[in-house]
Chains A and B, each alone.
Chain A
Amino acid sequence: MSTLSQALWVLLLGSLLGLELIGKVPPTLHTPLMSGANAISGITVLASLTLIAQADGNGALLLLGGLSLGFALFNVIGGFLVTDRMLAMFGGRKSGSGG
Chain B
Amino acid sequence: MDFASCAIDLVAVLLLALGLKGLAKVRTARSANGLAALAMGLAVAGLLLQLQPGPAAWLWIAIGAAAGGIAGLITAQRVPMTAMPETVALFNGCGGMASLLVALGVALFQHDQTDLVGRISIDISVFVGAITFSGSIVAMAKLQGWLDTPDWTQSAMRHGLNISLAIASLAAGLALPTDPAGWPLWGLLLASTLLGIGVTLPIGGADMPVVISLLNSYSGVAAAAAGFVVGSQLLIVAGAMVGAAGLILTQVMCTAMNRSLLNVLFGGALGAKAGGSVGGGGDEAGYTRIVSCSPEECAMALESAERVVFVPGYGLAVAQAQHALRELSKLLEANGAEVSYAIHPVAGRMPGHMNVLLAEADVPYEQLIEMDTINPEFPRTDVVIVLGANDVVNPDAKTDPTSPLYGMPVLEVDQARQVFVVKRSLGAGYAGIANALFELPQTAMVFGDAKAVLQQLCTELRSQGVGARARVAA
Enumerate chain A interface residues (CB-CB to B < 8 A). Answer: 3-4, 6-7, 10-19, 21-55, 57-58, 60-94, 96-99
Contacts and interface: CB of A to CB of B under 8 A. Distances in A.
B241 A14 contact: yes
B60 A75 contact: no
A22 B247 CA distance: 10
Residue of A14, A91, A99 most packed against chain B (CB within 10 A): A14
A56 to B, nearest CB: 9
Contact of A18 (B40, B44, B245, B350): B245
Contact of A7 (B85, B101, B233): B233
Contact of A21 (B37, B241, B326): B241
Interface in B215-260: 216, 219-220, 222-224, 226-249, 252-253, 256
Contacts of B36: 36, 39-40, 80
B102 A85 contact: no
Given A14-B240, A31-B350, A88-B30, A38 B95 contact: yes
B48 interface: yes
Contacts of B54: 53, 57
B359 A44 contact: no
A22 B65 contact: no
Name B's interface SS: helix
The 4 closest A-B pairs by CB, nearest first: A18-B244, A69-B64, A14-B240, A73-B68
A46 B220 contact: no
Contacts of B17: 17, 21
B122 to A, nearest CB: 12
Interface in B23-66: 23-26, 29-30, 32-34, 36-37, 40, 43-44, 47-48, 51-54, 56-57, 60-61, 63-65
B213 interface: yes
B105 A25 contact: no
19 contacts: A13-B237, A14-B224, A14-B244, A16-B244, A21-B21, A29-B25, A31-B348, A31-B352, A34-B88, A37-B249, A44-B235, A62-B57, A66-B60, A68-B98, A72-B95, A75-B98, A80-B37, A85-B77, A86-B84
B353 A31 contact: yes
B165 interface: no
A76 to B, nearest CB: 6
Interface stretch (B290-298, B360-368, B411-419): B360-368
B73 A57 contact: no
B29 A87 contact: yes
Given A35-B84, A61-B110, A71-B95, A43 B43 contact: yes
Contacts of A17: 17, 237, 240-241, 244
Given A30-B252, A38-B92, A63-B60, A47 B230 contact: yes
A21 B350 CA distance: 21
